[in-house]
Amino acid sequence: MQLNWQQWNRKAQTFMLILTLIGIIAAIPLGISRWGMEQSANKVEFVYDYRDLVQIASYQARPQEFIQEQLGKMKEAGIQSMAVFESSLDELSWAGRLSVYNSAALNGINGKLAPVNENFTYVIFAGSREESELRPLIESTYEKWGIAVRPFTADNGSGLVLETPYEDAKLKLMSPDPIALQMIRDADLGILPRLSDRVPYDVESVDRLIADYKELGVKRILFDGNAVKGFADNEEKKSLYTFADILNKHGIGVAAIENSKPQKGMGTLGYLLDYNVARIYSLSDIDAAGMKANEIADRFQLAVKDRNIRMFYLNGAPMSDSAKSSITYSLDNIYEALNGKDGAIAKIEKWGFSAGTAEAFDSSTELTAWQKALKGLVALGAIALIVLLVAAFVSGVNIPVFVIGLIGSAGLNVLSPSILEQGLALGAAISAPTLALIWAINRVRAHTVGNRRAVGANVETAANVGGRWIFPGLSAGRRFKMAIALFAATSIISLAGVPFVFGLLNSIKYSLVLDQFRGVGLLHMAPIGLTALYVFLYTGDSVLGNLRKLLMMPITVLWVVGGLILGAAGMYYLSRTGNEGQVTGVEMIIRNLLETTIGVRPRFKEFMLSHPLFLFGLFLALRYRAAWVLFIVAAIGQLSIVDTFAHIHTPLAISLIRVSLGLAIGALFGLVLIAVWQVGEGVWRRWGAPRLEGIKQQFKAGA
């Protein structure tokens, strides 16, 4: 009976390999579809914050002339649009549209005492045009909040009385300044409205507002705050759905801010808009003033080609410069960064992009019938790949683990398809590099201590590995050729995990970061831990025997120091992972050099650390047992191959180039390490070893 079960298990192992291959093949058309999607939107839009421009202008001698002049310069520099917030009394005051006083301040101006029982807000318009444009806007806004509004006449003009304290009045948001909108349009610039969810949602008012934006040529909306318009009232009014209907009716999309927590409701709204979404990167006012123009241009180029950014939001602020005894601003630096000789526009054009109004990526193939069918095959292949990993550690469990995987996946698909596809993608991403390294370890064992034979839960070897630390059977030339072949084959096996990542996470929502691939932190650690487990427990006489030896080993100061060093190395490794990883100054220099010379930067930990040590380790491991520990370091580079493609917002072409460069450059550095080792070993054998032997003989003779 046991023999029959082992035969069935071996057949199941072959079946798992076939399913894995089918999954890889099924993922290729999904990858091609994504590749086409990533090429479907090549316009890059630069947007400046109009509120910041108004603030800068307020520090100039002639604010309105300054704004007009800068709008023209922005157009010449390549800025296409101005971001316009919902207006407030403060912003309208900065723009010189009106003056605002509380009761005490107004009476003080008129030489009167402050009223005893009145704390109202008084608004005085700057002129007749301002009053005709802004009065209806202010009246409708404050009446909607239940605040009484009445006319007011002063010696220096007419205005309104808002029966609420100024501190409350300035918090109420209104539609954008209509005078500013017209000024922007007259300068032949587009408008990017910034809407908040702080105003109670009213479908009729929103419909009129979006219709007005449509007439002004608005193509896209950016939200202000931590939620999209309509999110707060969605449970009661289904406002996200009505808002999406309004935007779809007028053909207006939205923008999603990069490197920030997704605004509440953005995922739902993006889906309802058929993913008419563009990713926008924000340059802070500090960076706009502090960075050099060429540094800003390089950052923008990198964001466009490496992160699918199609919009840039430019901030600015007036700054007091005591050294120059003047108020400074970053506008000229921004103009140079965009339209200089080596400006961002020139840089992105070299990569096939051009400045213009941002467009949405083509999502017409999203969730088509053929994609669903192929995605099912990819999911099946991912389950099979995970089964192979489990079976590498626990023999004879292919069939039950596969059945459990099928049942669990079916149930999870009903509860949350998104979690299922992410879970399977994560499992496959962990399994491929781990299995690749296990294969490499076993190949090295086969050429040194002999083939292994699995018996139950133990792993037996043809020789006692614990007593053999040097394997003299292979020449240096033979080891060199085998190391290169094993390095290439292991990397190919690791790459087998890549199709499962882009095949299962092929939805555009991941490219737009409306949904994120969770569990990447586990991907950064699991293959390293599993490889270490295999090296220490599965390469000796038996798993239990190796475990018993490890548990019985005395803990010395050296072990404690080693543990602390490993812990520090692990913390440093984790600090470098993810988009917010920390890097050294030297690494930044190397990164910039590679970016400017090659165009695509390979991952530092691959070509400078893991890949060279892996090739070097393979060469050594075929002779020295102690070198097997370098397989653990190799896991960093092998998992990084798959992890590169787990950054779904990075185009597939860039990820493929990055991984290829990492392997090629890393292999070259590995060859250098091998050459240095061979020279050092030759020197040692010729001079070092004989001299050491002579010293030993002298010591014995003296004793």
Residue whose C-alpha is closest to residue 13's, from 339, 407, 401, 514: 401
Q: How far does CA 476 lie from the centroid of its chain?
A: 43
**How many C-beta atoms surround the C-beta of residue 307 within 10 A?**
20
Q: Please tell me the predicted confidence (pLDDT) of residue 453.
A: 41
> Strand 326-328 relative to strand 319-321: parallel, antiparallel, unpaired?
antiparallel
The residue to which tokens 């860039």 are assigned: 654
d(CA 593, CA 632): 29
User: CB of 281 within 8 A of CB of 256?
Assistant: no
Contacts of 164 (CB under 8 A, 6+ apart): 120, 121, 142, 147
Supply φ then ψ for residue 589, to 5 degrees: -65, -45
User: CB of 614 within 8 A of CB of 643?
Assistant: no
Q: Please tell me the predicted confidence (pLDDT) of residue 689.
A: 65
Residue 577 to residues 70, 582, 666, Cα–Cα distance (Å): 41, 8, 19
d(CA 447, CA 417): 45
* 401, amino acid identity: V
d(CA 425, CA 419): 10
For the chain, 703 residues long, the average pLDDT of each consecutive 10-residue run is 68 93 96 92 96 91 92 96 93 88 81 77 92 92 91 84 93 90 93 90 91 93 93 91 96 90 91 95 94 93 93 92 79 94 92 93 80 93 96 89 94 91 96 97 89 40 52 89 96 97 92 86 92 86 70 66 61 56 58 68 85 94 90 93 93 93 94 94 77 68 61
Cβ burial of 655 (10 Å; 0-12, 13-18, 19+) is buried
As given in the structure block, the two tokens for residue 137 are: 């806007």
Q: Please tell me the predicted confidence (pLDDT) of residue 470.
A: 84
d(CA 484, CA 619): 8
Packed helices 476-495 and 630-646: angle between N→C axes, nearest 10 degrees: 30
User: CB of 301 within 8 A of CB of 348?
Assistant: yes
User: CB of 172 within 8 A of CB of 145?
Assistant: yes
Supply φ then ψ for residue 99, to 5 degrees: -120, 145
d(CA 267, CA 680): 59
Hey, what long-range contacts does 109-114 have (CB within 8 A, 24 or more apart)?
Answer: 110/155
pTM of the model: 0.86
Q: Please tell me the predicted confidence (pLDDT) of residue 461.
A: 39
> Strand 277-283 relative to strand 253-257: parallel, antiparallel, unpaired?
parallel
Helix, coil or strand: residue 648:
coil
* 358, amino acid identity: A
Q: Please tell me the predicted confidence (pLDDT) of residue 319.
A: 86
Contacts of 672 (CB under 8 A, 6+ apart): 612
User: CB of 680 within 8 A of CB of 686?
Assistant: no
Q: Any idea what DSSP says for residue 321?
A: E
Any alpha helices (H) in 553-651, and if so which ranges?
Answer: 557-575, 585-597, 604-605, 611-621, 630-646
> Strand 458-460 relative to strand 319-321: parallel, antiparallel, unpaired?
unpaired
